[in-house]
Structure 1
Amino acid sequence: MKAISYSRYGGPETLAYGDVREPRIGPDSVLVKVRAAAVNPVDWKAREGYLDPMFEAVFPVIPGWDVSGVVVQLGVSVVEYAVGDEVIGYVREDFLSRGTFAEYVAAPVRTLARKPRNLTWEEAAGLPLTGLTAYQVLTRALRVKRGETVLVHAAAGGVGSIAVQLARHLGARVIGTASEANHDFVRSLGGEPVTYGEGLSERVRGLAPEGVDAAFDTIGGDTLKVSANLLAPEGRLASIADGDVVGYGGRYFWVRPDAEDLTRLSELAEQGVVSVHVSETFPLERAADAHRLNEQGRTRGKIVVTVDWADEAAGSAEG
């Protein structure tokens, strides 16, 4: 099969497009024919070697944890799915090797849910990692309740844009940091935008004089410190970007695959509660360009890599 892979840690230039062996499926996995795979900051951080203390890399590594696609083969123990089912997944294993930037991926059923019927392949691929991160942080780490005020950083980004929508669905008021160019986008999601940078604390205090009940940090560093200072007396803080959050009495959070949570997100997408904004798509062979764009850190919504099956479809029609 065709895939993107890298055989050493490094920059986007290490990503190569070519033939690799098709993955084998275990008893509790299915083989998914990939339609689209979203790009996340963790993908290039893994490629650079930043995750080496946590994840063993079995080279060559195929990057990517997000996927939307079609089930084409079942493991012997799988009863949850049938061949032909359309699925989405946060296909993260405890090592780096068999990612989603490929024509096929072996996916444990614990990482999958059914694809929302109203989303395109590209939109659906952008939901799992960002959606699960937002959902799990809001409901488990921050325990957001109706009537509370939540501060979401990078509210126009992949995780932030989903977090704004989910927090509003939970009944919270949402203040979201974003560049001025993205203020209308944040408003369209139900958030109240404030601009990044110097004076952020004063701008947030202007909207929430008593402080915020919960702060969702996606940036770290100085932003984390500002967030801690903006909390109400019983406020909660969580970060997915900076382990120093523990020193501020908050929680450092790492998203985990969860089929039940992902199914809930799929349902919310079908109900129109959650939408996924895709800013740009790249064909599989241009995945390095997708990585470069993601590394700039200024994306609205998601960047997605697509797999073109047009030639196969044409061949089937002719046959």
Structure 2
Amino acid sequence: MTTSISPNPTGTARAVQLESFGGPEMLRLNTVPVPVPAADQILVRVTAAGLNPMDWVMTADAETATRFGLGLPCGFGTDYAGTVAQIGERVTHFAVGDRVFGGAMSRAVADYVLVDQSGTIAAGGDAHHTPDGLDDSTAAVLTIAGCTASAALATVNPGPRDTLLVGGAGGGVGVFAVQLACLAGARVIGTGSASSADALRALGAEPVAYGRGLVERVRALAPDGVTAAMDLFGTDTAYAARELGVPDTRITTIAAQIDGITPANGAGAAPGAIEQIAGLVASGQLRIPIAASFGVEHIRDAVELQSARHVNGKIVIDLATS
């Protein structure tokens, strides 16, 4: 037995899928049956989905997809926001009509997504109640980047006495990490391109250009030293931090592994971390810039823009009006 919004969400819906793994050119907007929730599942009418680098990295080739447990045909996208359209008979945490957001790995860019009421992003999907004051477009970009930033910050634990060096500070995770570190009282120096300097300042970071000479530029900005570092892009910032005297215990990475340095992963975020972040956004203490919004029919254009990694902020797929 299920409980539904009236009229019942039956028939067909749209879903972005891949029938072969590869780049954005492999993405298709297909017509699929509306799924039916099992006893412990909710059916979410998705209004917005957020893009992350992991979305296209996971589906770029068959070998990588297999490591993530993905098979064909495969959906696309993980972050979503929307409204509960139908619930299974054993669901107690959610009701039809509730606004929710969360993650459903490689399934989110679709009109409807099934989510376990007590699942995880990778296994069954997860859902959280969307707080008042938080619109769906912003809620749809919180989960992956927010959890990853929270886990990275917990690894290096910056505070008022710290100067934190953040590599890739203007990216999707950096937007969260910089502001959360500032809220914790740390001084933040963020690497980026020359064109991203103003955007980094708006987040609360002191911008510094990445690339050759990074160590010297950081020393000039922080002559008293850097005490912690997060590399949110690769390894250059982590190695620079070592050269600046930061101990390995206060360095973390999210996209690469270095012997002796503890990597961070969104799956390791503390319980309640994403709800706390959503509350900060809803109250105006955390600002998440939306770099661009695309209708679902333009999913390839959106992924090409996101994969170029030159945007400051997040990219949203609009499923409510397209």
TM-score interval, normalised by the smaller of the two chains: 0.7 to 0.9
Q: What is aligned with 2:141?
A: 126
Aligned-residue sequence identity (percent) comes to: 36
Does structure 2 retain, via aligned residues, the 8 Å contact 1:12–1:292?
Answer: yes
Stretch of structure 1 that moved more, 275-284 or 222-231 = 222-231
Q: Which 4+ runs in 1 deviate beyond 6 A? A: none
Q: What is aligned with 1:253?
A: 264
1:231-242 correspondence to structure 2 within 5 Å: 231-233=245-247, 236-242=250-256
Q: What is aligned with 1:22?
A: 34
- Is the partner of 2:33 in helix, strand or coil? coil
Q: Given the alignment of the two structures, is residue 63 of structure 1 paired with residue 80 of structure 2, yes or no?
A: no
Distance 1:287 1:143, change over 3 A: same
Q: Which of residues 173, 176, 200 in structure 2 aligns to 1:159? A: 173
Distance 1:158 1:199, change over 3 A: same
Q: Which runs of 5+ in 2 are unaligned?
A: 1-12, 119-125
1:1-319 correspondence to structure 2 within 5 Å: 1-49=13-61, 51-92=64-105, 99-110=107-118, 111-139=126-154, 141-233=155-247, 236-243=250-257, 245=258, 247=259, 249-256=260-267, 260-309=272-321
- Is the partner of 2:67 in helix, strand or coil? coil
Does structure 2 retain, via aligned residues, the 8 Å contact 1:17–1:285?
Answer: yes
Deviation at 1:198, TM superposition (A): 1.6
Does structure 1 retain, via aligned residues, the 8 Å contact 2:49–2:140?
Answer: yes
CA deviation vs aligned residue, 1:56-108 (integer Å, no higher than 9, x gap): 2232111111011111112333222211111110223xxx5xx1010011122
Q: What is aligned with 1:313?
A: none
* Alignment size in residue pairs: 301
Deviation at 1:155, TM superposition (A): 1.2
Task: Letter of the 1:275 partner, please give it.
Answer: R
Cα distance in 2 for residues equivalent to 1:291 and 1:179:
21
Task: Letter of the 1:101 partner, please give it.
Answer: V
Stretch of structure 1 that moved more, 281-290 or 221-230 = 221-230
Cα distance in 1 for residues equivalent to 2:53 and 2:18:
16
Cα distance in 2 for residues equivalent to 1:145 and 1:291:
36
Does structure 2 retain, via aligned residues, the 8 Å contact 1:212–1:235?
Answer: no
Task: Letter of the 1:261 partner, please give it.
Answer: A
Deviation at 1:258, TM superposition (A): 6.8
- Is the partner of 1:36 in helix, strand or coil? strand
CA deviation vs aligned residue, 1:242-273 (integer Å, no higher than 9, x gap): 12x2x1x2112221277622111111112222
Cα distance in 2 for residues equivalent to 1:76 and 1:171:
46
Cα distance in 1 for residues equivalent to 2:270 and 2:20:
30
Does structure 2 retain, via aligned residues, the 8 Å contact 1:165–1:189?
Answer: yes
Q: What is aligned with 2:6?
A: none
Does structure 1 retain, via aligned residues, the 8 Å contact 2:229–2:237?
Answer: no
Does structure 1 retain, via aligned residues, the 8 Å contact 2:229–2:238?
Answer: no
Deviation at 1:234, TM superposition (A): 7.2
CA deviation vs aligned residue, 1:8-60 (integer Å, no higher than 9, x gap): 11111111112123234343331111011011111111120263352122321
